[in-house]
Every structure is written in structure tokens, then in C-alpha cells.
């Protein structure tokens, strides 16, 4: 049976509230245990499929179906509705973006194939064909957004062309043409008048076309964040564009992070400071650590997880602190302070592992297929937990992550017989910095 072409609000939004499949448990063993004895373990449920993965796939499929049926009126209504309601999946992805990605996916796949062949003429022709097929693309803001988003994706693909380390003249010209086309498609639609975070985000993505993007970057992002302050993606993009490599400086980034935290305090507390700095600190040069306020960042992490304690958010921030920022750091440094937050995030909040977020926390060059990425993400998460809880593993204890917290249990490797009791359960702040004595 074909999917219905209807896109009513109840179906669009209720799909985002369906319960996810129960995660399966895995165990990480400590190899230090003598042969023949059950090793100390970390036992934690692993959710190989992200809770919102089905919703993301369903929404993209719905957008693709409507485009294939050339039902542009229904697609435009669905895009407008999702944008005006600020609808998002449980993982925070805007629904309007997913519908638009689905609608242009057939044309985009063909255009990206042309990019891999270094054929800019074919890539442009494919997307121009999509524009000719879309009815009223020049009159409807959200249909224009769908087309422009495809051009922006192809422009970025020319930048990130695999196997081509430098931007050749051909690639630079092809990239510029797609960016300019995206700008022409949406220039007549004002994001504030349309009450559209989607159009505002697209405008920020085209900042480099402005002769002086450093003068516009703050105003444009302020409009975007004010339109949709609940979406962390917008604040993260602001931080990336305010790095010295883009349109700002470290001092300017820190100043805007504080301003953004103040403007979004009703939703995030001081969490806005974290979102603006998050990707900027993850850069290879690490220059931001000399300018970030590590204590304010740590406070912001607490505020985010107090307001959004779901496991997607917990895994995102745990992987960031425990993996993205892991490595050598001078004691007392800002990097060490922020990376050290992994401990209380794991102990107080982590109840299951989402391998896809751990795989993305430190992507490998060239990427990997889905199965390899999930295996790598799971291994990274368990390794980070094993390192943090090593003092318990060395004493022969097993850690079991449950809905009630982290439980410590005895194993045959223990140097004494450890009786299960409440004193060995996390979270207990008064016990975190001391070793619980063996109970004989």
C-alpha cells in the first residue's frame, strides 16, 4: 500500500512520541583478572538504533513520497506547519529539515554522484531540473527552502570532495554557483516576516557570500536563535562561525556565548554558553581553551542535563567530555576541568549507551559503514567507562548501570567477599571520592 499523501499535524507530531525499542545489555571485561576467574565487568544497556532514528527515516520518506507524487501543496503545508510549530525529533533534529531533505533526496543523490565525477554541469542541471518540477518554488518560502537546501548540500560536497585535498578552481567555481543559487532562491523571503527558523538557518549558512560576513554574523544568528532557542544546532553553528578560522575571534566568541546564555536562560539556564562553545572547543588546534570559562561551562552542563535528562542528551555530552576532549591535558587546565565532567555525567545520568553518538564524537577520516561505526562507538563508550571506573574494576567489582543508578556488585575477582548493599550504589555524592571498604 502506498503511503498516504496527507500530512496532518497529529500524524506528523505523534510519530515523534512513540516508545523506542528496549536496549540490549553488553558487558565490558577487565583483562587483569586471572585466568579461570570471572573478570570484573561493566554491564550497561546499549541502544544500537538511536531513539529518533525511526522518526527521522519516516519523515524523510514522507517528504520523498510527496515529491515523487509532485504533491507540492501538501509538502508546502507540512513544511510550513513543522517550521511554525518548531517541531523536532526526540534527538532535537528539526522536522522541517527532515521533510525537505526527503523531498530533494532523489535529485541530491544524483547531483552528489556528479560531484564525485567532477562534473559541475551535470550537478547543476540535476538541481535545476528539480526546480522546474516544483510548482510555485518562486512564491512559496518553504518550497524555495527545500530547493535551496539541496544547493547548499552540493556546495558543501564540493568543499569536502573525497580524495581532493585542495580546492581547485573548478571546485571553487562550482561551489560558489550553488551558494549563489541558494541565495537567489530565498532572498525574497524574510525569515522574521515568515516566522521561519528554517529560512533563518539557511541565511546563516550563506553568510560567506556577504562581502563582510563578520559584520552580519552576530545579527543573523541572533535572529535565528531568538526564533528557535530550543534548538541547540543553531547555537553550535554560531560558535563554529565565530572561530578565528571563520568570521570571528575567541574573545568575540566568548562574549556572544555569554550573551546567548542570557537570552536563552529560561530554557537552558547557563547551557547556552555550552552550546556556543561546544564545537569550537572540539577543533584540532585547541586554541579556545585559553579563552573559555571552564567553570561556567561546567555549570552549563549541569543546567542542560537538569532540563533535558533524556539519554540522547546524556550520551551526547558524555561522549563529548569523555571522548572528544579526552587525551593529555595539564592538571588544572580548562580542558582537564571540562573533560573531567565525564565522571559525574556517567555516574549521575548515564543509563544506556548510544553508539552512534560516540562514533560521531571523534569521526575517523574517510568515515565507516553503519555497522563499523556502531561497533566503534560501543567500544569507545565502554573503554571510557572502564577507564573512569578502573579503581573499582581493579578491586574485582562489577558495575551495573540501571534506572536507579550505577550499582557496584561483587565478583569472584574481588579480594574479599563483598556483600551487596545500598552503600555500594551510585549516585551517592558523599562516597564518590573515597573507596568504600570491603564488607567481610
Residue with cell 562514533: 359
CA angle 301, 303, 309 (to 5 degrees): 85
Of 213, 264, 209, give the one whose Cα is nearest residue 234. 264
SS (H, E, C) 21-37: CCCEEEEEECCCCCCCC
Strands laid side by side in the 24-29 sheet: 24-29, 41-46, 397-402, 405-410
Q: Which residue has the higher pLDDT, 435 or 83?
A: 83
Q: What is the pLDDT of residues 207-245, one digit of tens each?
A: 999 999 999 999 999 999 999 999 999 999 999 999 999
Say what the pTM is.
0.85
- Reply yes or no on whether the pLDDT at 391 is more than 50: yes
Residue 397: pLDDT band by 50, 70, 90 thresholds?
Answer: confident
- Reply yes or no on whether the pLDDT at 430 is more than 80: no
**377 near 363, Cβ under 8 Å?**
no
Portion of the chain with pLDDT greater than 90, in percent:
67
Portion of the chain with pLDDT greater than 70, in percent:
81
Map out the domains of the chain as residue ranges: 22-51+340-364+373-440, 53-191
Q: What is the pLDDT of residues 360-386, one digit of tens each?
A: 998 876 555 667 888 999 999 999 999
- The mean predicted confidence, pLDDT, of the chain is 85
pLDDT of residue 328: 79
- Reply yes or no on whether the pLDDT at 154 is more than 70: yes
Give the three-class secondary structure for 409: strand
Mean pLDDT confidence for 253-265: 98
Mean pLDDT confidence for 49-66: 92
pLDDT of residue 167: 64
Non-local CB neighbours of 434 within 8 Å, separated by 6+ positions = none
Number of residues in the chain: 440
Mean pLDDT confidence for 390-418: 78
pLDDT of residue 285: 79
pLDDT of residue 419: 43
Mean pLDDT confidence for 273-292: 93
Q: Which residue has the higher pLDDT, 37 or 108?
A: 108
pLDDT of residue 298: 98
pLDDT of residue 432: 40
Amino acid at each position: 500500500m502506498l503511503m498516504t499523501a496527507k500530512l496532518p499535524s497529529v500524524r506528523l507530531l505523534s510519530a515523534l512520541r512513540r516508545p523506542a525499542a528496549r536496549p540490549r545489555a553488553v558487558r565490558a571485561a577487565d583483562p587483569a583478572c586471572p585466568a579461570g576467574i570471572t573478570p570484573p565487568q561493566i554491564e550497561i544497556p546499549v541502544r544500537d538504533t538511536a531513539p529518533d532514528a525511526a522518526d527521522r527515516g519516516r519523515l524523510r520518506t514522507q517528504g520523498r513520497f510527496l515529491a515523487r507524487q509532485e504533491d507540492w501543496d501538501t509538502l508546502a503545508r507540512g513544511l510550513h506547519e513543522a517550521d511554525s510549530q518548531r517541531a523536532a525529533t526526540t534527538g532535537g533534529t528539526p522536522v522541517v529539515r527532515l521533510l525537505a531533505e526527503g523531498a530533494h533526496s532523489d535529485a541530491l543523490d544524483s547531483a552528489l554522484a556528479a560531484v564525485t565525477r567532477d562534473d559541475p554541469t551535470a550537478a547543476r542541471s540535476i538541481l535545476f531540473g528539480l526546480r522546474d518540477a516544483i510548482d510555485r518554488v518562486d512564491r512559496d518560502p518553504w518550497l524555495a527552502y527545500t530547493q535551496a537546501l539541496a544547493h547548499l548540500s552540493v556546495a558543501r560536497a564540493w568543499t569536502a570532495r573525497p580524495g581532493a585535498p585542495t580546492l581547485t578552481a573548478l571546485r571553487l567555481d562550482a561551489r560558489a554557483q550553488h551558494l549563489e543559487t541558494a541565495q537567489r532562491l530565498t532572498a525574497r523571503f524574510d525569515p522574521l516576516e515568515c516566522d521561519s527558523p528554517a529560512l533563518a538557518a539557511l541565511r546563516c549558512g550563506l553568510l560567506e557570500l556577504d562581502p563582510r560576513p563578520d559584520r552580519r554574523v552576530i545579527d543573523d544568528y541572533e535572529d535565528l536563535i531568538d526564533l528557535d532557542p530550543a534548538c541547540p544546532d543553531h547555537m553550535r553553528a554560531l560558535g563554529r562561525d565565530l572561530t578565528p578560522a571563520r568570521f570571528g575571534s575567541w574573545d568575540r566568541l566568548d562574549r556572544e556565548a555569554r550573551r546567548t546564555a542570557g537570552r536563552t536562560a529560561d530554557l537552558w539556564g547557563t547551557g547556552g554558553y555550552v552550546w556556543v562553545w561546544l564545537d569550537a572547543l572540539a577543533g584540532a588546534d585547541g586554541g579556545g581553551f585559553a579563552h573559555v570559562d571552564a567553570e561556567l561551562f561546567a555549570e552549563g552542563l549541569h543546567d542542560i542535563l537538569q532540563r533535558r535528562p533524556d539519554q540522547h542528551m546524556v550520551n551526547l555530552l558524555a561522549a563529548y567530555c569523555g571522548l572528544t576532549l579526552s587525551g593529555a591535558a595539564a592538571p588544572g587546565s580548562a580542558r582537564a576541568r571540562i573533560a573531567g565532567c565525564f565522571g559525574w555525567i556517567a555516574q549521575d545520568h548515564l543509563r544506556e549507551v548510544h553508539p552512534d553518538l560516540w562514533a560521531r564524537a571523534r569521526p575517523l577520516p574517510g568515515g565507516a559503514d553503519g555497522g563499523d561505526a556502531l561497533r566503534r562507538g560501543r567500544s569507545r563508550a565502554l573503554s571510557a567507562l572502564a577507564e573512569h571506573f578502573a579503581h573499582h574494576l581493579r578491586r574485582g567489582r562489577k558495575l551495573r548501570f540501571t534506572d536507579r543508578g550505577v550499582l557496584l556488585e561483587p565478583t569472584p575477582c574481588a579480594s574479599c567477599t563483598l556483600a551487596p548493599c545500598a552503600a555500594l550504589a551510585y549516585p551517592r555524592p558523599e562516597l564518590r571520592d573515597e573507596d568504600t571498604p570491603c564488607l567481610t
